[in-house]
Structure 1
Amino acid sequence: MRDGFIKVAAGTPKIRVADCRFNAEQVFTLMREAARQGVRVLALPELCLTGYTCADLFLQDTLLRGAEEGLATVLEATKNLDMVTALGLPVRHQGKLYNCAAVIHRGEILAVVPKTHLPNYGEFYERRWFEPGGPSDRLFSLCGQEVFFGADVIFPCESMPGLVLGVEICEDLWAPEPPSQALARAGATLLLNLSASDETVGKDAYRRSLVTGQSARLVCGYVYADAGEGESSTDLVFAGHDLIAENGALLNERRFTTGLTVSEIDVDKLCCERRRMTTFPGAGEGRFVSVGFALEPATTTLTRYISPTPFLPEDARDRAGRCGEILRIAALGLKQRLEHTGAKTAVVGLSGGLDSTLAVLITGIAMGLLERPASDIIAVTMPCFGTTDRTRDNAVELAQRLGATLRRIDIGSSVKSHFRDIGQSMEDHDVTFENGQARERTQVLMDIANQTGGIVVGTGDLSELALGWATYNGDHMSMYGVNASIPKTLVRHLVAFVAGDKAAEDEALSHVLEDILDTPVSPELLPAIEGRISQKTEDLVGPYELHDFFLYYAVRWAFPPRKVLRLAEHAFGRCYDRATILKWLKTFYRRFFAQQFKRSCLPDGPKVGSVTLSPRGDWRMPSDAAAALWLDALEELA
């Protein structure tokens, strides 16, 4: 439960149709196993105490008494388990029979939730035996306890703010207006679905899309527990397709087996997203009965996968598709700007590094969309004190392979003249020495744009903007920044994608892109040592893979420093120790706050993903905000 995580499970016990004693034993055995694994919320299948396929046996009093006795057995056997469980059984109420979920905790029934939408088509005949559920009307007696009965019940956890359970049953999700919609509006953040969905070819994909889609639409966790082995195979087969989803992401699933499907739901993440979304209603909408429960606080061991590259899909096919789409979006943004301004040229400072390479590639795509020649791109390489032969040669080769108009302007003499004017020693390699070169390059680009009736295309990326790793009014400035919402880790993959895409048609272009990918990230503002890069960015500010991870969780999800650190340890534990991660996390927060003034006056640029730092778009922050609270929180963890 620490850091907002709650371990949940969908369980499929092996059952025997109409054998309530056997089924009760299988249920409480599975519950005990779930508790042993640290599960705090468990969903079990629809009618699992009797079997879903009992048919007209549901009209037999013997079966109904057996189901209630089975529930009593489960309550007694699990009264010491600090775990909320929802399990299915038929329940008699006011002279009618209902298909219900009993929600239990420590031997007590919290409430009984009836199924709202009863299927009576195809292979389903539920209206033959059951009545549809409705709002709560009164308490009723079950297993000697007085409990609420109704579909309008939510279950808030008193010891974990934000965790609110809601329950629906199988067909309820497939209906046009699932009860989960109203439950979520009432505040439910974790929905449990007790299901007995038979298996037919292709149905698993539809079921999966329903569960993940509903979790996204309602910004919730969704646990779907399906009936499996032991249900009657007279006409149907049940595969036990258990799924756990969170806000559109499938965390875990199993099919054609019994047992537990386990993962962790990030309740804090869901609550944060609901607060952020102004279209999501506040909790408490509608008239709902609230039945609380309390769980003993405990640390939740994480088993869910935390990607070290949150900006990138890990599947190769998905990654390729994402790269192509990002390039297209960025190019369309630049295309619109070129059309609107009537720019005759697009001027790009080409250093031979990753960022400027991506910028010129995007510019090339934009020119293609405009049906204009690549020669309208003015690629300017501006060697100075730290430029190495490798980066200079790669910049020249890249421009030539793309068909851009290349201009080579050595800025060394101009910078030296400027240094003489301001009294800056060439031996003093301080920030003035570095920034003087960056500002001179920007001046050259702006003036060339004026000469040619063009605009300067910016090359700075999202990671650099987050860390403030840009010279104010130097590479910080342009007329349109195409990389502005692309983090460094993604820049690398985009260039690699183009290199692979061009390998067949232009081997030389692919080769130069590969060499650029192999070149250390550097601003090359300090003199080279024996012809090699002397200034490596990641030695100074830290690994970009860590900073991009920090950026995603600190900005996109507003996680506190402790949680960002915990997730980073989980994702990068094999690569970095805790002390290293903590060191660079402190650097991230310190620089992120101190460098906001550079982001407050950013040039325009296209948003391509869920995280951007544009002061006109997703991120508004005072330039003089203090980082003390965030840094103090990290000091407590040191």
Structure 2
Amino acid sequence: MDKNFEYMRVAVAVPSLKVADPIYNVKEIAKISKKAAEKEVKVLVFPELGITGYSCQDLFNQKLLIDECEVALNYLLEETKNYNILIAVGMPIKVNNQLFNSSVVLKEGRIYGVVPKTYLPNYDELYEKRWFTSSIDKISNRLTLCKQEVAFSENLLFKDRLSSLCIGIEIGEDLWATIPPSSYHGLYGANLILNLAATNEVVGKTSYVRDLVKIQSGKSIAAYAYASAGEDESTTDTVYSGHCIISEKGKILKEGKLIDSFYFVDIDLEKIENDKAKYSMKMEKKDYQYISFDLGSNENTPLERYIDKRPFIPSNSEADNRCREILNIQSTGLYQRMKKINSKKAIIGISGGLDSTLALIVTVEAFKKLKIPTSNIMAVTMPGFGTTDRTYNNAYVIMEELGVTIREISIVDACIQHFKDIGHNIDLHDLTYENAQARERTQILMDLANLEGGLVIGTGDLSELALGWCTYNGDHMSMYAVNTGVPKTLVKYLVKWYSTVETTGRLQKALKDVYNTPVSPELLPPSKEGNIIQITENTVGSYDLNDFFLYNTVRNAYRPEKVFYLAKIAFKDEFTEEVILNTLVNFYKRFFTQQFKRSCMPDGVTRGSVSLSPRSSWKMPSDASYELWMKKCEKLKDLMN
């Protein structure tokens, strides 16, 4: 992976352990550190009090054990001095006759700082206050350890000079506090939080810890690496399982229970830093000390991270709930709009394609909320020069089965007359030929809305808005647009989900055929066999690719080089590099040049983290230049050749 893409390899580890045997334990820590170095890990975190074991209890009061910890740490410094890894290891440290549960941060034989634990649990089977002092009560902010004078504070942030990496540390129960130290770490620049933990097994605790880590990584806008003590700890009163998690901005990247092993993942610092800049907040002022080190990210190493090729599609585990939530957001937006303007009717154009099908489903759901009969929905099919029997028949089945009022109004005669009026050759199938049909349909819908006292429902989706794949003041315009926050890949997924979960029989069959119909505006005449010849993806490129580009350009603000790099990984078995790059070039050109359509788009609710509404989300000049993006793409072409 290119170091310029700001990925950082982070690992969590649970080594083999003997309680109260520091030398044995650091040898095991050193073994894992060596293996991690071979995998080009850059940051490695071990469990809480890993040099002694967490479960030493009153042995923590033994001077012999505490003194031996420093001997063991010296050994570890020597053993890892040739590894370009920042290591966080836990041990008890006595400072000014106070004993602290601490994390030692070291790299290449040097100790960069020591972070003491702040929130000491003192309930049920946990009684750390019996031995340890909270960081709040420490006397000094410096200490001498292994003949090195180092910073000693809970407010230390470790910053890499060669990348944007900034590390904050908290220990175990710190995470459970009302305001954890990591909340402050995140506000003051940390994009990676390390937690050296020792969480014992209690029914339900694993899922609770998972939620804590996941939520805290999201709240802190950071990655979070959590390494908990393993099963070699004493089982006198409780059991430890080695529960380890790496999360990034609210998403679990790796999770499992480790025994004498480690796992790693590449976190995305660029994504985190972009979001920190976007959502920056401050709390009370704290005195933080920033400690610099040289680390850098990996180069020419395969990326160790799952790249989601369809980022808008919910994962299988949450698909049903997420689809219901999306449909509810869409229908609630329309329900509230109709309720507030006291509208009892809706007018919607139905083509038999994906977008209008989803929009009709949303409208039906909104009318259920309004407790208005679906017969008050006027669904209008408007066959034209490119309409095929397949889409026409599917449209009729869907309208009939959903119980809406059906109108059929052909646009053929009106368009022929219009072409005569403006002097356009009907045999010339250019943009005028296509756009006139789209505008004629919109005019019909608008006039019917006036006639019926209803609301024209927009059907266009987020992907079409991004690419400008809509006719200005044609299908681009409506009175309320329900799909503007839903990209094409998700439209397909929602229609498929709805057909499977909510329908049977004739309606289900029609919806499944809609899902499998090639995406087309059907503005050009079909083939002699009556099949669609105007395939949208033949012009704009795969919607899988375009939605991937849209997400990573708008949501993550990635540069073309990184978008291309990730797309090559995600779609390596589906598209050639040439196809990916050509589609990316087309995406940027259309995204910039078609902003004028988005600048005056109708109202419609935002569904997720990517929206192009000029009012709530995406504010961009309509005449901005795309040359900078094109230059980057040209360089990519040169490198590819």
Q: Which residue of 2 aligns with 1:313?
A: 314
Q: Which residue of 2 aligns with 1:551?
A: 550
Q: Is this contact kept in 2: 1:102–1:111, CA < 8 A?
A: yes
Going from structure 1 to structure 2, the CA distance change for 1:136 and 1:443 (only over 3 Å counts) comes to farther
Distance in 1 (alpha carbons) for counterparts of 2:481 and 2:187: 40
User: What do the CA deviations read for 1:111-166 (whole angstroms, capped 9, x no partner)?
Assistant: 111111112221122222221124783432111111111212111111112x1111
Post-superposition offset of 1:53: 1.2
Q: Which residue of 2 aligns with 1:582?
A: 581
Distance in 2 (alpha carbons) for counterparts of 1:297 and 1:44: 20
Please point out which of 201, 204, 213 is paired with 2:203.
201
Post-superposition offset of 1:514: 1.2
Q: Is this contact kept in 2: 1:136–1:150, CA < 8 A?
A: no
Q: Which residue of 2 aligns with 1:459?
A: 459
Matching residue's letter, 1:572: F
Going from structure 1 to structure 2, the CA distance change for 1:582 and 1:136 (only over 3 Å counts) comes to farther
Matching residue's letter, 2:271: K
Q: Is this contact kept in 2: 1:346–1:454, CA < 8 A?
A: yes
Post-superposition offset of 1:570: 2.0
Matching residue's letter, 1:526: L
Q: Which residue of 2 aligns with 1:263?
A: 265
Pairing of 1:342-361 with structure 2 (within 5 A)? 342-361=342-361
Q: Is this contact kept in 1: 2:379–2:399, CA < 8 A?
A: yes
Distance in 2 (alpha carbons) for counterparts of 1:403 and 1:124: 62
Pairing of 1:294-305 with structure 2 (within 5 A)? 294-299=294-299, 301-305=302-306
Post-superposition offset of 1:220: 1.0
Matching residue's letter, 2:209: R
Corresponding residue SS for 1:612:
coil
Distance in 1 (alpha carbons) for counterparts of 2:130 and 2:196: 20
Q: Is this contact kept in 2: 1:35–1:81, CA < 8 A?
A: yes
User: What do the CA deviations read for 1:355-406 (whole angstroms, capped 9, x no partner)?
Assistant: 1111111111111111111111111111111111111111122111111111
Distance in 2 (alpha carbons) for counterparts of 1:416 and 1:503: 39
Distance in 2 (alpha carbons) for counterparts of 1:210 and 1:401: 46
Matching residue's letter, 1:149: F
Post-superposition offset of 1:256: 5.1
Please point out which of 42, 45, 51 is paired with 1:43.
45
Distance in 2 (alpha carbons) for counterparts of 1:510 and 1:502: 8
Going from structure 1 to structure 2, the CA distance change for 1:296 and 1:380 (only over 3 Å counts) comes to closer
Q: Which residue of 1 aligns with 2:615?
A: 616
Pairing of 1:214-293 with structure 2 (within 5 A)? 214-255=216-257, 257-278=259-280, 280-281=281-282, 285-293=285-293
Q: Which residue of 1 aligns with 2:155?
A: 152
Corresponding residue SS for 2:514:
helix
Q: Is this contact kept in 2: 1:254–1:261, CA < 8 A?
A: no
Is 1:607 aligned to residue 606 of structure 2? yes
Of stretches 215-224 and 129-138 in structure 1, the one that deviates more from structure 2 is 129-138
Distance in 2 (alpha carbons) for counterparts of 1:128 and 1:367: 63
Is 1:383 aligned to residue 383 of structure 2? yes
Post-superposition offset of 1:502: 3.4
User: What do the CA deviations read for 1:427-448 (whole angstroms, capped 9, x no partner)?
Assistant: 2111111111111111111111
Q: Is this contact kept in 1: 2:14–2:258, CA < 8 A?
A: no
Matching residue's letter, 2:42: R
Going from structure 1 to structure 2, the CA distance change for 1:359 and 1:266 (only over 3 Å counts) comes to same
Matching residue's letter, 1:447: D
Matching residue's letter, 2:162: S
Distance in 1 (alpha carbons) for counterparts of 2:68 and 2:467: 65
Matching residue's letter, 2:240: F
Is 1:143 aligned to residue 146 of structure 2? yes
Q: Which residue of 2 aligns with 1:529?
A: 527
Distance in 1 (alpha carbons) for counterparts of 2:174 and 2:341: 54
Corresponding residue SS for 2:293:
coil
Distance in 2 (alpha carbons) for counterparts of 1:325 and 1:138: 50
Distance in 2 (alpha carbons) for counterparts of 1:400 and 1:236: 63
Pairing of 1:443-522 with structure 2 (within 5 A)? 443-504=443-504, 507-522=505-520
Matching residue's letter, 2:314: P
Matching residue's letter, 2:580: I
Corresponding residue SS for 1:10:
strand
Q: Is this contact kept in 2: 1:212–1:250, CA < 8 A?
A: yes
Matching residue's letter, 1:35: A
Q: Is this contact kept in 2: 1:185–1:285, CA < 8 A?
A: no
Q: Is there any run of 5+ residues in structure 1 with no aligned partner, and where?
A: none
User: What do the CA deviations read for 1:521-542 (whole angstroms, capped 9, x no partner)?
Assistant: 1001111112111100011100
Q: Is this contact kept in 1: 2:16–2:259, CA < 8 A?
A: no
Matching residue's letter, 1:511: K
Post-superposition offset of 1:296: 4.0
Post-superposition offset of 1:177: 2.7
Q: Is this contact kept in 1: 2:9–2:297, CA < 8 A?
A: no
Of stretches 294-303 and 528-537 in structure 1, the one that deviates more from structure 2 is 294-303
User: What do the CA deviations read for 1:464-510 (whole angstroms, capped 9, x no partner)?
Assistant: 00000000011101111111111101111111122113334xx1111
Q: Which residue of 2 aligns with 1:94?
A: 96
Distance in 2 (alpha carbons) for counterparts of 1:47 and 1:403: 66
Corresponding residue SS for 2:122:
coil
Matching residue's letter, 1:622: P
Pairing of 1:65-104 with structure 2 (within 5 A)? 65-104=67-106
Matching residue's letter, 2:24: F
Please point out which of 22, 25, 28 is paired with 1:23.
25
Distance in 2 (alpha carbons) for counterparts of 1:117 and 1:338: 52
Matching residue's letter, 1:311: F
Matching residue's letter, 1:354: L
Distance in 2 (alpha carbons) for counterparts of 1:605 and 1:310: 21
Corresponding residue SS for 1:242:
strand
Q: Which residue of 2 aligns with 1:325?
A: 325
Distance in 1 (alpha carbons) for counterparts of 2:502 and 2:207: 35
* Runs ≥4 residues deviating over 4 A: none
Q: Which residue of 1 aligns with 2:590?
A: 591
Q: Is this contact kept in 1: 2:564–2:581, CA < 8 A?
A: yes
Corresponding residue SS for 2:123:
coil
Q: Is there any run of 5+ residues in structure 2 with no aligned partner, and where?
A: none
Corresponding residue SS for 2:348:
strand
Q: Which residue of 1 aligns with 2:334?
A: 334
Distance in 2 (alpha carbons) for counterparts of 1:88 and 1:164: 19
Q: Is this contact kept in 1: 2:7–2:297, CA < 8 A?
A: no
Matching residue's letter, 2:147: G
Q: Is this contact kept in 1: 2:489–2:543, CA < 8 A?
A: yes
Post-superposition offset of 1:52: 1.1
Distance in 2 (alpha carbons) for counterparts of 1:89 and 1:502: 57
**What is the TM-score normalised by the length of structure 1?**
0.97
Distance in 2 (alpha carbons) for counterparts of 1:297 and 1:231: 34
Q: Is this contact kept in 2: 1:136–1:149, CA < 8 A?
A: no
Going from structure 1 to structure 2, the CA distance change for 1:287 and 1:225 (only over 3 Å counts) comes to same
Going from structure 1 to structure 2, the CA distance change for 1:475 and 1:175 (only over 3 Å counts) comes to same
Distance in 1 (alpha carbons) for counterparts of 2:442 and 2:223: 49
Post-superposition offset of 1:285: 4.5
Q: Which residue of 2 aligns with 1:119?
A: 121
Identity %: 47
Distance in 2 (alpha carbons) for counterparts of 1:453 and 1:125: 70
Corresponding residue SS for 2:323:
helix
Pairing of 1:416-435 with structure 2 (within 5 A)? 416-435=416-435
Distance in 1 (alpha carbons) for counterparts of 2:177 and 2:613: 41
Output the aligned Cα RMSD.
1.5
User: What do the CA deviations read for 1:172-220 (whole angstroms, capped 9, x no partner)?
Assistant: 1112232212222221111111111111222101111111111111111
Corresponding residue SS for 1:292:
strand
Q: Is this contact kept in 1: 2:223–2:246, CA < 8 A?
A: yes
Matching residue's letter, 2:372: R
Going from structure 1 to structure 2, the CA distance change for 1:549 and 1:285 (only over 3 Å counts) comes to farther
